[in-house]
Chains A and B, each alone.
Chain A
Amino acid sequence: MKRPRLWLWQVLILAAVFVAWQLLTQPGLIPPFVWDNPDRAAFFFGEPVKMLKVIWAWFSDGTIYKHLWVTLEETVLAFVIGAVLGLAMGLWLGLSATASALLDPYITAMNAMPRVVLAPIFMVWFGLGIWSKVALGVTLVFFIVFFNVYQGVKEVSPVVLNNTVMLGASRRQLLRHVYLPSATSWVFSSLHTSVGMAFVGAVVGEYLGSASGVGYVIQQAEGAFDINSVFAGILVLTAFALVLDYAVTHAERRLLRWRPAQSETEQL
């Protein structure tokens, strides 16, 4: 299918889902067949029109921007800190056989642990502000980056390594000019996953206890049984995640210019 046609159909599917949703939940529109009360469907599943009105209200009076900003801040901080720590640890363990043999079981254990359970501890340590969410995001991002870098260091081409040695690189220069660029490329190849994880950490942290952020907005609405606002929050989060993903794709394209793209021909 051609591009514009494809987009048209994609928009139509979205519209169809919303229309069906609206028709099925509108109180009194269709005879109730699951619940005897006609308002029940709307109570559980919300009504798209009302949900969109909530979103419109959020953006028109500007209350949502503050929360989006907080969530973005947490996501970016969690990603940056987690990536730097993961890169450093990955390089260290990748290059030192002793360190990796020593720490291997602990890394495996920490990765196996469901890290969401750490959220309460981070709340106690860092309070209800952004840092407890950042900490949760960091634990999620760290392992993705760490494993990628660790693998990346192990898989540096020995020929490139030997060649660089023959060109006169010292051990430091080898780290800076071969291991680091090679490891960084692995960080970027896991960029989508790790930014996604930073985002998950931020939102889950907010949901579990905070005073701002989109996760907090959802949690508040849920407390008031305001299902339309819950769905509105989810929709805003999804759109936000899409924007984030787009930004990552853009950054990736710029930063990994030296790597052959799938569609690009290998030679001139």
Chain B
Amino acid sequence: MPAAVSFENITCTFAARNGGRPYTAVKDVTLSIGEGEFVSVVGPTGCGKSTLLNVAAGFLRPSSGTIRLFGEPLSGINRRAGYMFQAEALMPWRSALGNVTAGLEFRGIEAAQARRRGEDWLARVGLSGFGDRYPHQLSGGMRKRVSLAQMLILDPPILLMDEPFSALDIQTRQLMENELLDLWSANRKSVIFITHDLEEAISLSDRVVVLSAGPQTHPMGDFPIALARPRDVSEVRLMPEFIALHDRIWHAMKDEVLKGYAQTRNRVAG
């Protein structure tokens, strides 16, 4: 069976502005995500994690290499994926319900049916009764729930998540992580979850991929996470297996994180 998403020798080079050298953010990345697999991608800041996700979403065409979805090469926007952004992505002029049902509306689903399904999804993310609130009337965590429902209502086989919970406080974040796991267990989709938080990556995933520091980022470690499911993200962190895994992956990452940090510092200094 072909993988849900497979990156084949993906390289992304950006033309330099004002006469500098072109910048190769990602070099020769080969990576595949199986059907129903939850894969986290971790790496130092500025290493091109988001570039990879943008390639998978179809926002960015790689300079070379192919991206395949279930064996077929992707061209244009990825219609089989849902994307959850790090920043606020809700339409501020639509109510929570209006935001959740937007995708159904774009697909021409009849209004009454869209409304019913929207309300059902709002209830599933714990927001029943909040449908008529506008995004600015909701807390950060609530807005993330609306985003989650907005993405999942379309039932995409692939989920692309770009540090979706990084702006939340730690308690809300763990709640959201558990909710994501519950929803995902009920209907297993292929997930690419970008994060810089190793604990988050291990507690959620089936596999953790470690990227090298940029430029010319490439995967440099691939760790299967054999922790039992269902998991509770705050409890799983206390298990000895978790700590051992964390240790191993952190050792593999540490040099790259330091390299990435040094580069950022030099860039600021220079």
* A165 interface hit (Cβ, 8 Å): yes
Q: How far is the CA of A181 from the CA of B93 in the complex (A)?
A: 7
Cβ–Cβ < 8 Å partners of A185 in chain B? 93
For residue B108, give the distance in angstroms from its CB to the closest CB of chain A.
10
* Cβ of A169 under 8 Å from chain B: yes
Nearest-neighbor residue (CB-CB) of B88 within chain A = A159
Q: Mark A residues whose CB is within 8 Å of B.
A: 157, 159-160, 162-170, 173, 177-178, 181-182, 185, 257-260, 264, 266-268
Q: How far is the CA of A160 from the CA of B88 in the complex (A)?
A: 7
The listed residue (B77, B94, B95, B134) touching A165 by CB distance below 8 A is B77
Supposing A166-B77, A257-B134 touch, asked if A160 and B90 sit within 8 A by C-beta, the answer is yes
Which residue in B85, B91, B137, B147 is a CB contact (below 8 Å) of A181?
Answer: B91
Q: Are B102 and A260 in contact (CB under 8 A)?
A: no
Q: Which of A159, A257, A259 sits near B89, CB closer than 8 Å?
A: A159
List residues of chain A with CB within 8 A of the CB of B85: 159, 162-163
Task: Report chain B residues within 8 Å CB of A268.
Answer: 133, 137-139, 142
Pick the contact of B81: A157, A163, A166 (CB < 8 A). A166
How far, in Å, is B87 (CB) from chain A's closest CB? Answer: 5
Question: B61-86: which have CB < 8 Å to A?
Answer: 77-79, 81-83, 85
A260-B57 contact, Cβ under 8 Å, with A159-B88, A168-B79: no
- Nearest residue in A to B87 (C-beta to C-beta)? A159
**Majority-rule SS of B interface residues:** loop
Which residues of chain B (92-130) have a CB below 8 Å from chain A?
92-95, 102-103, 106-107
CA distance A167 to B134 in the complex (A): 19
Residues of A within 8 A of B82 (CB): 166
Q: B136 at the A/B interface (Cβ < 8 Å)?
A: yes
Chain B residue total in the interface (Cβ 8 A)? 35
Q: For the complex, what is the distance from the CA of A178 to the CA of B90, rounded to whole Å? A: 11
Contact between chains at A162 and B83 (CB < 8 Å): yes
* In the complex, chain A residues whose CB is within 8 Å of the CB of B103: 167-168
Interface pair A168/B59, CB less than 8 Å apart:
no
- B93 lies within 8 A of A163 (CB): no
Q: A-B pairs with the 9 shortest C-beta distances? A: A163-B89, A167-B103, A260-B136, A166-B83, A258-B134, A181-B93, A168-B106, A159-B87, A267-B139
Roughly how many angstroms separate A157 CA and B136 CA in the complex, as a whole number? 15
Q: Is the CB of A266 within 8 A of B136?
A: yes
Task: Indicate which residue in B59, B89, B151 contacts A160 across the interface (CB closer than 8 Å).
Answer: B89
Can you list 26 pairs linking A and B with CB atoms under 8 Å apart? A157-B87, A159-B85, A159-B87, A160-B89, A160-B90, A162-B57, A163-B147, A164-B91, A166-B77, A166-B78, A166-B82, A167-B106, A169-B102, A169-B106, A170-B106, A177-B91, A177-B102, A181-B91, A181-B93, A258-B94, A259-B136, A260-B136, A264-B136, A266-B136, A268-B137, A268-B142
Instruction: Judge if B257 is at the interface, Cβ distance under 8 Å.
Output: no
B154 within 8 A of A: yes
Q: A259: which B residues are within 8 A, CB to CB?
A: 92, 136
Of A162, A169, A258, A266, the contact of B93 (CB 8 Å cutoff)? A258
Residues of A close to B190: CB separation below 8 A: none
